[in-house]
Structure 1
Amino acid sequence: MALPNLVLIAFFTYRPLFVNMYYSTLDWTLGSMDATVVGLGNYIEFFTSGDAPAVLGATAIFTAATVGGSMVLGLLVAVALNQKVPGRTIARSAVFAPYVLSGVGVGMVWLFIFDPVYGALAWMLRGVGLASPQWINNPNLALAMVIIVYVWKNLGYCAVVYLAGLQSMPRDVLEAAALDGAGALRRFWFISFPLLSPTTFFLLITTLLSSLQAFDIIKIMAPTGNGTGTLIFESYLQAFGAYNRAGYSAAISVVLFVLLLVMTGLQLRFVERKVHYA
């Protein structure tokens, strides 16, 4: 009964994976009928080139900032939305709404906001006599720009998942702590937060995988890279940009795959030890 599904998974998931690994050993131009086997040449070229530190550094900064920012802000928003206040249902919907929006649409709207000449933010700053930062032209600011937008789009997902974890907590434990004189902050730090460890572990894995594969917002807001060249975006530029190097792009994709595999394995091996499931 499972055989048809296993065949589909093997054909559409694992076959492209191994084919891409094979392509990574070729010096091949996309669409060309000829290719030269170079073995590990593409990998050696990537790690010995001057672009590797910039690409890996941008990937590390973007991933750490988006994962940390989304989870921390999502937890704070979830705590706020867990309070019994009027309009909390509407607030929950509003917080989650950006997550379901198209990344292309989100990128275009925020690009209008950050545009240093015609953007809404530049207009507001000019109103108080200040010049707008060159968000698009400055590589450091461009990376900060896409991080801000990506966190804004995805913190709703973290907030909703954390909110579900908060609402599923045993009330008797929190009430007992309150009767013993524990304040709200103490109850959260020593009871609620440890009980949220399975939720935190789940979000850590899912947001990490999502951030390392983030593409649409970066493509719209910084189409040429300009300091935002993460691994997946660099792979795209190499294959479909001006370089047209499909084999080299495949090698970068394999590097990203190995990175994802190692980081997920480390989380399952070490982080899960600190998770309290009961």
Structure 2
Amino acid sequence: MKGATAGVWRKGLAGYAFISPWLIGFLVFIVGPMIVSLYFSFTHYDMLSSPRWAGLSNYVTMFTEDARYVKSLLVTFQFVFISVPLKLVFALLIALAFQLKFRGVGLYRTIYYIPSIVGGSVAVAVMWKQLFGLNGTVNAVLDWFGIKGTNWIASPDYALWTLILLIIWQFGSPMLIFLAGLKQVPVELYEAAEVDGASLLSKFARITLPMLTPVIFFNLIMQLIGGFMTFTQSFLVTSGGPMDKTLFYAVYLYEKAFGRFEMGYASAMAWILLLIVGAFTLFIFKTSSGWVHYESEEGEG
């Protein structure tokens, strides 16, 4: 019995030894910094002197005294609630188009995926800034049609929409996930629907969309989290302007942390963002039972 117990312990230790690099990295680079940042969020800390305990001061200041914080929160909500649905709808439409069999479809899939690979890079952000600048390509094209353009990224009315367009342009990742989901829809369902005389729209609404709800659920969660964390596009293209119209939450957090060295305040902002994203994610999970349909569940029913 003792020998068997010792064998089990040896196997357990061997397993922990194999995962120890990941486990150490997780504790040192994720859990550790999170605990430290939680402590900093209750302090005044400028990285040049020792942290000074402030209690809930940073959190109270956010919502009662810092108008720019509230502005960044509203701008981020507006950005996420517009860009994420549009991006997912566009990605789904392109995925449906790529379901059709035509020559070179594989090449087109690769080309359409490229923006998702390079979309968050500095080079693309600079390119976008040039495209929508006063003397950019967009205004040059409009000029051909006799339409006078504007400095899109410097206009309070259009700056945010240029960034939303940039995010939608990076639809390649959710598109591929939708494409994988479409391939899992049983062909027999479409054949049975055709026998019953169902129209194309009816097949999409009654077969394709319900079968894709798990994929939509996954894409929605991932894009929502990514949307709240958007930084590069705003920081490089508009620098949060004009008039803070594109002051995303992550940009303002960066400004507080590394521009004004208010590390305690920035840590508090980071934890509020974590709670916001967690709340929305939890809400989607809680409501998913009413609109996400799994084939195994339907079979059991």
* Matching residue of 2:141: 124
CA displacement at 1:191 relative to structure 2: 0.7
Q: Aligned with 2:153: secondary structure?
A: coil
Q: Give 1:200 deviation, angstroms.
A: 0.4
Structure 2 counterpart of 1:206, from 222, 227, 230: 222
% same residue: 28
Q: Are 1:218 and 2:234 an aligned pair?
A: yes
Match in the other structure for 1:238: 256
How far apart are 1:24 and its partner, in Å?
1.1
Q: String of CA shifts for 1:59-79, please: whole Å, max 9, x gaps.
A: 111111221111000011111
What is the aligned partner in structure 2 of residue 259 from structure 1? 276
CA drift of 1:145 comes to 1.0
- Counting matched residue pairs gives 274
Q: Which has the larger radius of gyration?
A: 2
What corresponds to 1:99 in structure 2? 116
Which of 18, 38, 41 is residue 54 of structure 2 equivalent to?
A: 38
Q: Report the Cα distance in structure 1 between the residues aligned to 2:158 and 2:43, rounded to whole angstroms.
A: 36
Between the aligned partners of 2:254 and 2:129, the Cα distance in structure 1 is 21
Q: State the 1:114 CA deviation.
A: 0.3
- 1:161–1:199: 8 Å Cα contact kept in structure 2? yes
- Residues 182-201 of structure 1 aligned to structure 2 (within 5 Å): 182-201=198-217
The amino acid across from 1:114 in the alignment is F
Query: SS in structure 1 opposite 2:154?
Result: coil
After TM superposition, give the deviation of residue 36 of structure 1 in Å. 2.0
Match of 1:152 in 2: 169
Equivalent position amino acid for 1:219 in 2: F
Per the TM alignment, residue 8 of structure 1 is displaced from its structure 2 partner at its CA by: 2.4
The 8 Å contact of residues 201 and 272 in structure 1, kept in 2 or not, is answered as no
Q: SS where residue 157 of structure 2 aligns? A: helix
Q: Is the 8 A contact 2:40 2:51 kept in 1?
A: no
Q: Tell me by how many angstroms 1:224 deviates.
A: 4.1
SS in 2 for 1:189: helix
Partner of 1:111: 129
In structure 2, which of residues 245, 263, 267 is the aligned counterpart of residue 250 of structure 1? 267
Q: Compute the displacement of 1:232 (Å).
A: 1.2
Counterpart among 6, 27, 30 of residue 44 in structure 2? 27
Partner of 2:99: 82
**Contact 2:153–2:238 under 8 Å retained in 1:** yes
The separation in 2 between residues aligned to 1:197 and 1:65, in whole angstroms, is 20
Task: Tell me the residue number matched to 2:25.
Answer: 8
How far, CA to CA, are the matches of 1:138 and 1:272 in structure 2?
A: 42
Partner Cα separation in structure 2 for residue 102 and residue 152 of structure 1: 8
Please list, as runs of the form range in 1=range in 2, the aligned pairs for 1:132-151 lying within 5 A after superposition. 132-151=149-168
2-structure distance, mates of 1:134, 1:84: 41
The residue type equivalent to 1:214 in the other structure is T
Q: Tell me what 2:194 maps to.
A: 178
1:47 corresponds in structure 2 to 63
- Conserved? CA contact 1:174–1:187, under 8 Å: yes
C-alpha distance in structure 1 between counterparts of 2:278 and 2:182, whole Å: 30
C-alpha separation in 2, matches of 1:56 and 1:38: 23
**Do 2:69 and 2:252's aligned partners in 1 also have CA atoms closer than 8 Å?**
no
Q: In structure 2, what is the equivalent of residue 18 of structure 1?
A: 35
1:8-30 residue CA offsets vs partner (Å, 9 max, x unmatched): 2122111111211111111121x
Q: Does 1:228 align with 2:246?
A: yes
Letter in 1 for 2:254: Y
String of CA shifts for 1:76-121, please: whole Å, max 9, x gaps: 11111101122211111111111111521211111111011x2111
Residue 184 of structure 2: aligned partner = 168
Residues of 2 paired with 1:202 and 1:152: CA distance? 19
Q: Does the CA contact (< 8 Å) of 2:159 and 2:238 recur in 1? A: yes
Give CA-to-partner distance per residue, 1:110-163, whole Å, 9 cap, x none.
Answer: 1111011x211122223333322232222332111111101102x111111111
* TM-score normalised by L of structure 1: 0.93
Residues 154 and 238, structure 2, Cα contact 8 Å, conserved in 1: no
Contact 2:37 2:267 in 1 (8 A): yes
Find the aligned partners of 1:276 and 1:95 in 2 and give their Cα distance. Answer: 29
Give the deviation of 1:54 after TM superposition.
Answer: 1.3
Question: CA-atom RMSD, angstroms?
Answer: 1.5
Residue of structure 2 in register with 1:64 after alignment: 81
